Amino acid sequence: MIDALLLSIGQLSDRRILSLLLKVFLISVVLLAVFGVGAYFLLSWLFSLTALESGGFAAAAVAVIFTALTTIFLFRVIAIFVLNIFSDDIVDAVEALHYPARAELAKPPGYALGLKMGLASVGRAIGYNILASPIYIMLLITGIGAPIAFFGVNAILIGRDLQDMVAARHVGNVAQMDDSWRLNKLTRFGLGLTIALLLAVPFVNFLAPVLGAAMATHLVHKTRENGLKESN
C-alpha cells in the first residue's frame, strides 16, 4: 500500500497526470459552483415567499454555508464521478510507465462507459450513506463514532470504484470480471480508506482522486501478477 502511494506521488509530475489533475480539479470546482449558485437562487425564492426584506442576504448566507457543507461531505462523490469519466487516461499513464505489457493489451472503455460507471458510483454513494445515516446519527453522542462509521462506509465504496476503474480497461464489463482482477477485501478497504481520508484534507483533497486511480493501478496489477505466479 505504501509502495503504491509513493509510486503514485512520484508520478504526479508526469505531464499527462498534471493535465488530468487540472481537469478533474476544474470540473469539480465548476460543479460545486453551479450547485452553490443553484442553491442561492432556490433559497432566495423560498425566502421571498416569507416577505423578508433581508431575504436576498439570508439566501446568500445560507447558500454559502450549504455549499461549504456540501464541499466537505459530498466533494468525494463529485470528485469520484468526474474521475470515472477520465480515469482511463490516468490508468493508461501509469500502465505505460510501469506495466507496458498490460498497457498494450488494454482496451480503453471510453467516456460513455466512464460516465455510466460514474453515475453508478454516485448512486451507490448516496444510497449507502442514506442507509447508514441512522447509524451516523446514533453514533453522534460518542463524538468520534459517526466519523469512523462514515469513513468506513465510504472506504468500502471508494475502494470498489477505484478497483473497477482499472479493471474496466482490461475486462470491459466489470460485473463479469474474474477474481484475478479483484483486490482482496482488506487491500481494497485500505485503498479506499487512504483516499477517503485524503479527500477530507483541504487542498490535498484535489490530489486524492488522481492518487487513488494511480494507486489502484499499482495494486491491481501487483495483485494479479502475484496471483498468476502462485497459480503456476
Angle, alpha carbons 144-147-152 (nearest 5°): 120
In a domain, 88, yes or no: yes
What CA–CA distance (Å, rounded) separates 24 from 87?
Answer: 10
Taking alpha carbons only, the member of 22, 65, 27 closest to residue 43 is 65
Region 126-133: what's the mean pLDDT?
90
Region 76-83: what's the mean pLDDT?
82
Q: Is the pLDDT of residue 176 over 80?
A: no
In angstroms, what CA-CA distances link 189 with 11, 91, 182? Answer: 23, 20, 12
In a domain, 145, yes or no: yes
Higher pLDDT: 140 or 130? It is 130
Which pTM value belongs to this model? 0.80
Render pLDDT for 203-228 as a digit per residue (tens, 0 to 9).
Answer: 888 888 899 999 999 999 988 877 65
Contacts of 143 (CB under 8 A, 6+ apart): none
Say how many CA atoms lie within 13 Å of 167 toward its Cβ: 22
Supply the pLDDT for residue 215. 94
In the chain, the N- to C-terminal Cα span, in Å, equals 25
Supply the pLDDT for residue 194. 95
Region 69-92: what's the mean pLDDT?
78
Give the structural domain span for 210. Answer: 2-225
Contact status, residue 111 vs residue 85, Cβ threshold 8 Å: yes
Q: What does the block give as the cell for 42?
A: 432556490
Buried b (16+ CB within 10 A) or exposed e, 197-226: ebbbeeeebbbbbbbbbbbbbbbbbbbbee
In a domain, 207, yes or no: yes
In a domain, 170, yes or no: yes
Domain count, the chain: 1
Q: Is the pLDDT of residue 152 over 90?
A: yes
Supply the pLDDT for residue 46. 67
Q: What does the block give as the cell for 44?
A: 432566495
pLDDT grade for 195, boundaries at 50, 70 and 90 = very high
Taking alpha carbons only, the member of 175, 174, 187 closest to residue 227 is 187
In a domain, 219, yes or no: yes
In a domain, 232, yes or no: no
In a domain, 95, yes or no: yes
In a domain, 231, yes or no: no
Angle, alpha carbons 58-61-67 (nearest 5°): 135
